[in-house]
C-alpha cells in the first residue's frame, strides 16, 4: 500500500510541476527510484505557488495553506532592463530558490523561504 501511495504522491508532484513530455520518463524513473529505495518523496504541498503579477513586474508567492500572498517586486528592486520588455519573462522553482528572467537577458534569484532577493544582473 505504501508503494501505491508513494507513486500517487510522485504523480501529483509531476503534474503540479508541469513536467514536459520529453522529461516525463526521466521524472517517473527518478520518482520510482525514490519509492523503491524507501526515501521520502517531497510533498507537492511543500512547494510554494508562484505567479507573475498582472503588471509583470513582481512575483506573487503563496506558501502552503497561508491566506495571503507575498509580493516580491523584482523590477522595482533590480531596476529596468536596458534591453527587452520591462516585464518578468519566466521563472523556475528550484529546491530553495526561484530563478527569475526578465527583460531580454536579465536575471534575479529569490531565496526561499525568507524571500531574499538577489539581482544577478544582465548579460
Residue from 102, 109, 106 nearest 86 by CA:
102
- pLDDT of amino acid 7: 63
User: 91-107: per-residue pLDDT in tens?
Assistant: 999 988 999 999 988 99
Q: Are residues 60 and 30 in the same domain?
A: no
Confidence (pTM): 0.60
- What is the reported pLDDT for 5? 64
Is 92 domain-assigned? Answer: yes
Q: Is residue 73 part of a domain?
A: yes
Q: Using the predicted structure, report yes or no on whether residue 74 has a pLDDT greater than 70.
A: yes
Mean predicted confidence (pLDDT) in 74-89:
92
**Grid cell for residue 89:** 519573462
The residue segments making up the domain with residue 81 are: 49-122
Neighbours of 49 (CB within 10 A): 14
Question: How far is the CA of 68 from the CAs of 27, 35, 45, 62, 99, in angstroms?
Answer: 31, 34, 16, 7, 22
d(CA 95, CA 42): 10
Distance, CA of 121 to CA of 95 (rounded, Å) = 22
**44 in a domain, yes or no?**
no
Q: What are 3-38's pLDDT values in tens digits?
A: 566 666 666 666 555 555 555 555 555 555 555 555
Same domain, 86 and 107: yes
- Whether residue 95 lies inside any domain: the answer is yes
Domain count, the chain: 2
Residue 44 has pLDDT above 50, yes or no: no
Q: Does 54 map to a domain?
A: yes
Same domain, 58 and 116: yes
Rounded Cα distance between 97 and 83, Å, is 25
Residues 116 and 83 in one domain: yes
Higher pLDDT, 50 or 26: 50
Is position 43 within any domain?
no
21 with 57, same domain: the answer is: no
Amino acid at each position: 500500500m505504501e508503494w501505491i501511495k508513494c507513486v500517487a504522491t510522485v504523480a501529483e508532484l509531476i503534474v503540479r510541476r508541469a513536467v514536459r513530455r520529453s522529461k516525463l520518463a526521466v521524472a517517473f524513473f527518478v520518482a520510482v527510484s525514490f519509492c523503491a529505495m524507501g526515501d521520502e518523496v517531497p510533498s507537492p504541498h511543500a512547494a510554494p505557488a508562484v505567479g507573475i503579477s498582472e503588471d509583470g513586474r513582481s512575483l506573487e508567492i503563496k506558501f502552503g495553506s497561508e491566506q495571503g500572498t507575498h509580493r516580491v517586486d523584482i523590477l522595482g528592486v533590480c531596476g529596468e532592463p536596458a534591453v527587452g520588455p520591462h516585464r518578468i519573462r519566466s521563472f523556475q522553482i528550484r529546491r530553495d530558490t526561484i530563478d527569475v528572467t526578465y527583460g531580454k537577458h536579465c536575471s534575479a534569484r529569490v531565496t526561499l523561504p525568507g524571500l531574499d532577493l538577489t539581482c544577478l544582473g544582465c548579460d
